[in-house]
Amino acid sequence: MKPKTAFRSISPALVLSALVSTGINPAWSAPARTPLHAKSENVRRLPPSATPEERASLRDSMNRSTWDEFQKVSPEVTRSSNVVLSAMDRSILLNQAMLGAKEISLENLQEEAHASLPDARLHPAANSLGQELAQANGGAGFEQHGMLWGQGRHAGKRYLFADSFVRKVIRHYGFGLQPVDYMGHLPAGDGWLTPWLDSVMETPVTVGLSSSRATRMKVAHTTRVEGSWNGDVQAVENRRFEPLTGVPKSVAAVRFSGLLAGAETEDLKAVELPLNGSDLALLVIMPSAGQFDSVRSQLGADFLNDVVGQLQLQERSWVLPVMQMAYDSSHAGSGSPYNPGEADFSGVNGRGYLYLEGIGTQAAMNLTAQGLSSESVAIASYSATGPEPDDVYSGGNGPYGYGAGLVNVCAEEPHWNSELADVRPFFYFLRDRQNDLIISAGSVVQVAGPAVPPDWVTYPCSLVVTGPEPQ
């Protein structure tokens, strides 16, 4: 790799010292500190100078990334498993990665993140949007936190980070910086990340934790919402959930009643459920019986805008199942940033010799009569491309299968009346309505509960044996 232009460099330890001396608490120092010190709300002091148009452009880019994540989930997985996506955290890490990327690597990241703003305006817009979301949605427990773990001192030498890179990460994204020694002793499960993640996440994190002696930097971003419903909400029991396949379940559920924004067509019905003290609302799109695959194939920005445009306030009653679900994924990515032979992250340390191994994401969502909690994390891992020059340092599910078995041709065959279902599989989008920004998204196709007895039973030879078959 050809030498890169020299940058003014700074060590992680000096960054922490500088933050303390200027009155800004470092985002993290040691696991023994309280959770307050583990969070990153004490940075981002400077007011950003982003225009509404720039924030709107960034919002559109981040929403497009959400649709990208939906497309990465295969139809087979969507039909068989509940899905929770954390595309917003991944988008923020891609934007942050651009601070250190150069040339073709920067261009590839801009394309992957759908970034349309020039680099000099993208990061102030991210800062402005992040602060706006936090201020508008604090009543719903909206929090975002970020942390960077960088290679520190090893064998008497310090790995150097470019001063401009570190300061922009702190100023625009509110990330703290913690020096660790990947080249020395690696704690099991990356014990450096776990204390910080435990302080900002309720759900144990399992993705993106592993490191090697080639790791030089890890970056994590989390988003959390914990809000109560705004409106008439009641816990109910024994509601019928009709899955895409299999036996309907009797489930604990939540009934929403009163003046609700909703819409209904032949193919679906939708409702918007606001959270108190915020601009946040859960948009639920529930396909009609037999229309799940059709609606899924149409999901995208235009489709969602069309649904939102049809929402009208009127007296409604909706039932959703009580839910607790989680989902994780990892994407190695493609293109120059992920290729050790092509990646150019010389903006990180002034020299390069880094590539982005991948970004792991994990998300969880709980829905009860008390409210909604949603949390997500994305973790990016950067590693050395190979032997590094001295001036980088200072001081010298598996394949699907099908089975077959014998069937009694006149065994009883149960049936359920689809019209009796209280709730069906659905898609959801946790949105900031003021900014038209998707915070979290996913789909629900499975809910735990006892089986519902069949409404009628037949023999395969078509003889009705019990219960009235609907006309």
Share of the chain above pLDDT 70, in %: 82
Residues 349 and 414 in one domain: no
Give the three-class secondary structure for 51: coil
Residues 174 and 205 in one domain: yes
Give the three-class secondary structure for 448: coil
pLDDT at 48 over 70: no
Residues 158 and 240 in one domain: no
393 located within any domain = no
Overall average pLDDT of the 198-213 stretch: 86
* Weakest-pLDDT range from 73-77, 98-102, 279-283: 73-77
Residues 169 and 240 in one domain: no
pLDDT at 186 over 80: no
pTM value > 0.85: no
Residues 339 and 232 in one domain: no
Rounded to whole angstroms, the Cα distance separating 16 from 427 reads: 43
Sequence-distant (6+) residues with CB within 8 A of 321 are 239, 241, 251, 252, 253, 254, 367, 423, 444, 447, 449
Share of the chain above pLDDT 90, in %: 49
Confidence of residue 422 (pLDDT cuts 50, 70, 90): confident
Q: String of b and e for 313-352 (b: at least 16 CB within 10 Å)?
A: eeebebbbbbbebbbbbeeebebbbbbbebbbbbbbbbbb
Residues 197 and 240 in one domain: no
Residues 85 and 144 in one domain: yes
Residues 221 and 232 in one domain: no
Residues 151 and 260 in one domain: no
CATH of the domain at 449: 2.30.39.10
Task: Read off the tokens for 422.
Answer: 């209280």
Q: Which long-range contacts (CB under 8 A, 24 or more apart) does 287-291 make?
A: 287/424, 287/425, 287/426, 287/427, 288/424, 289/242, 289/418, 289/421, 289/424, 291/267
Task: Read off the tokens for 352.
Answer: 């390069």
Check residue 31 and give its pLDDT.
31
Residues 29 and 102 in one domain: yes
Q: What is the Cα 355 distance to its own chain's centre?
A: 23
102 located within any domain = yes
Residue with the two structure tokens 């990515």: 333
CATH of the domain at 214: 3.30.497.10
CB atoms closer than 10 angstroms to residue 448: 12
Residues 109 and 243 in one domain: no
Confidence of residue 152 (pLDDT cuts 50, 70, 90): confident
What are phi and psi for residue 383, nearest 5 degrees?
-130, 160
Sequence-distant (6+) residues with CB within 8 A of 80 are 445, 446
Task: Read off the tokens for 227.
Answer: 């809000």
- The domain in which residue 118 lies consists of 12-225+328-363
Confidence of residue 307 (pLDDT cuts 50, 70, 90): very high
Residues 210 and 237 in one domain: no
| Domains: count for the chain | 2
DSSP string, 236-281: EEEEEE--SSS--EEEEEEEEEEEEEEEE-SSEEEEEEEBTTSSEE
Quick one: DSSP state of residue 451? Answer: B
6 located within any domain = no
Instruction: Identify residue 43 by its one-letter amino acid code.
Output: V
pLDDT at 355 over 90: yes
296 located within any domain = yes
128 located within any domain = yes
471 located within any domain = no
2 located within any domain = no
397 located within any domain = no
Quick one: DSSP state of residue 344? Answer: -
Check residue 415 and give its pLDDT.
79
